[in-house]
Chain A
Amino acid sequence: GDSVTQMEGPVTLSEEAFLTINCTYTATGYPSLFWYVQYPGEGLQLLLKATKADDKGSNKGFEATYRKETTSFHLEKGSVQVSDSAVYFCALSDQRGFKTIFGAGTRLFVKA
């Protein structure tokens, strides 16, 4: 079945450091890919998304590129802030759009 694997955390960075959170997937067909963010005590919020190979999703300085050849959707940000501290989830939606599969989540701590 479909699955999503993302790097284990926690990831601890200093402010203004470069961030990469790796995500790879297994799926049949052409899934849609997402990154969600969860701040403490809250539900998930959509961060960015991509629908087809070589699409780049971006939002709030975060970027991820849909790489079909490597089945990856790595999250990057050039300069993190303390306010980026949260849990980040990689996810895919199957071709019908009825089921979303989430990765285990990666907790990010950013120190001032």
Chain B
Amino acid sequence: NAGVTQTPKFQVLKTGQSMTLQCAQDMNHEYMSWYRQDPGMGLRLIHYSVGAGITDQGEVPNGYNVSRSTTEDFPLRLLSAAPSQTSVYFCASSYFRVTVDNEQFFGPGTRLTVL
């Protein structure tokens, strides 16, 4: 199993550009989520999905879109990048809900810089 994979590892964008961060898992997990990590703020939930075709907003959804057409993939789209979106982005997955019996597995992260 590859676990949770993310591409790209690094990306530099100019303000106003759009891009998609890719996330895939091969563990047949129903639950997938996107976080951003900023210094001194821990990880904040952007969007999450409890299964194909079902998504919902987290704490900081503005400026980001998601869709879940398959169980394996959960891409994150930045529609018009802004410097405030400079961050490290992590994708995570778990079998279903995140409980003590359903561990959440994290990808290696994508470091995004918006100039």
List the interface of chain A (C-beta within 8 A of B).
Answer: 4, 32, 34, 42-46, 49-51, 89, 93, 96-105
Contact = CB atoms under 8 A, between A and B. Distances in A.
Interface residues of B, number: 29
B90 A43 contact: yes
Contacts of A44: 43, 90, 92, 106
Contacts of A104: 40-42
Given A42-B108, A43-B106, A43-B108, A98 B41 contact: no
Main SS of the interface on chain B?
strand
Contacts of A103: 42
A45 B97 contact: no
Contacts of A43: 4, 90, 92, 106-109
A46 B97 contact: no
B43 A89 contact: yes
A99 B96 CA distance: 12
A48 B43 CA distance: 18
Given A98-B56, A100-B98, A46 B41 contact: no
Contact of B97 (A49, A50, A96): A96
Given A51-B100, A89-B42, A104-B40, A99 B58 contact: yes
A97 B99 CA distance: 6
Interface string B62-93: 00000000000000000000000000001010
A98 B50 contact: yes
